[in-house]
Structures are given as C-alpha cells and as structure tokens.
Amino acid sequence: MTTAGVIGGGAWGTALAQVCARAGRDVILWAREPEVVAAINAAHENATFLKGVPLEPSIRATGDLADLAACDLVLAVPPAQHMRATLTAFAPYARDGLPILLCSKGIEQGSLKLMTEVLAETIPHAAPAVLSGPSFAGEVARGLPTAVTLACPEDGCAEDLAEAIATPTFRPYFATDMIGAEAGGAVKNVLAIACGIVEGRGLGRSAHAALITRGFSELTRIAVALGGEAETVAGLCGLGDLVLTCSSPQSRNMSVGLALGAGQTLEEALAGKLSVAEGVASAPAVRQLARKLGVETPICEAVAAILAGETGVDDAIRGLLSRPLREEN
C-alpha cells in the first residue's frame, strides 16, 4: 500500500493524514472546505482545524473525491452523522475490494446503525475496517506516542493495514471484532459528556471515577448486545478511549459537559466550536438503540434527556443517585 486517501479535513482527518505520511505513504487528503485545501497545499498547515501543527510536505489536499480513486487505502473520517452522504458521494470512485478504514465514532441517527453498516449499504464492495482508541488529534499530529485498535474481519487484513499506517509513535493493535471496536468509540462520547457535567458541577473525583466505571458497564452491555465481545471493549477502543475522553477538557465531548455542568445551555456550550462533539449527536441514537436492545443504560439515558431539554442537570443527577441499590455488574 503506497498511497493513502483520507476523506475528511477536520482535526482528526488531518492528524491521520500526518500519520500516513510519516509511515511512508503518499497521502491525498480530501476536505470539504476550499480554504483548508488551499492552506494545506500552500503552507502545509490546516490553520482552520489544527492550527500551529506543521504538516508533512508529502500531504496533498483536494476538494475532488475522484482524486482518491487510485489510492491503495482510504481512511474515512467525516463526522459520523455525515458518513452516509460522504461515502455515497465517494462510491462511484471506489473499486472492488478497496480497504476503507472507518475512523469516525458514532451511531447514525434514525437508522441506529454503526459506521460499518453504513459502509455496507453505501459501498458494499469495499473491504471494511475500523480504527478506534484513545487519541487526541493534536497529540497524534505532533507525533506523541499513541496506541489504537485496528479491527478487521480477517487477521491478515488487520495486520496489513496496521503495517501500512504504523509509525514509531503510532501503534495499531489489530483485532477482528469490528462491532466491539465501533460500539466502544460511539458510546464513550456520550459518557464523556456525563463526566464533563460531573466536573462542571464540582461533584468531585470520587463521583468522576464512579461514573467512568459504571459508564463502562453500560458501554460493555451495549457492545455485547450488538454482537461484540467484552474483551474488545476492555482494551484500547473501549476502556482506553473512555478514560482519555472522560479525563481531559481537550475532549470536545467532555468540554460540552463541562459547560453544561457550569450552567450553560447546549447552544451556549456549542457556540463557536468548529470541531464536532460526536456525543451530542450520538446520545439520542445510543438511547434509542439501548432501548431497542433491551439494555439498561441510566447514564446514557440521563445525558440524552439533558441534551434534549427533557430534564435539568440537577434533576438528572438526583435521578441517578436515587436509583435502587443493586449488585455490581
């Protein structure tokens, strides 16, 4: 695999383009915004979404998806709620068996489908894979050490893809459980909003630790109910990503929760943010999916209710704290 195409010129897409270039691939980065394309090609910087990070000179940006047709590997990194439209637009240029590495975390609203299901419906002839794990775009782009999960139905496929994008500071661990890898990444964004609310309300580190732990139980239940494996979400793409996203204001999702916990409205919390907080869009879908699966997810339920304006922060907290005592599981 000598050439890699990256669909999505946000912070994470740009960081992954940087990873692929450092791994020795010729990289074509597709971005929707003309100013992003122009800045990358002229100044080797994505000043809109990743300001101050010099990009590898071998990265070329484009606004035409057709330019990615000849790539040996494509990384799909649009926001999860735009994945279907973006893949549909790329479908005419995707040859049979093209490896498409899904790098966005979320559950599609309405259909309640994972990104692999969206890919199967839009480009059924592609070879699917999932990249997920604890990774902040700025740190990855600057070359700080990062480990992620790369899931593909076949071990050999995962190994080939991992070798194509691995660098001394970006280490993919391969797996075959794509459902577990996807579920972990989607649900943790919702839980990160909850952790931000706890921090913003000043409820303390004990409450923060309890929420991460009980949230991980919810994440695991959903993953297993979907057909994933508990062992998968106990790794980088579940527990690892949850710990990172729930522990730093760098997390877009946690920052939204911090604002809500401090008393801001959702509109105020989102104002001025260029990057997408996937958990805001995924929360109602996670709630609906859990109900459909018959899985108990009180924390995710509370977050979805807060975001929808169905309850206030304090009422949601009181509701969680007044739940009946039970055996830990």
- Catalytic residue annotation: 188
Neighbours of 264 (CB within 10 A): 15
Residue 242 token pair: 């949850």
How many Cα atoms occupy the beta-carbon half-sphere of 318 within 13 Å?
5
Phi–psi pair at 99, nearest 5 degrees: -70, 120
Supply 209's token pair: 């630790």
Q: What angle do CA 229, 221, 254 make, to 5 degrees?
A: 105
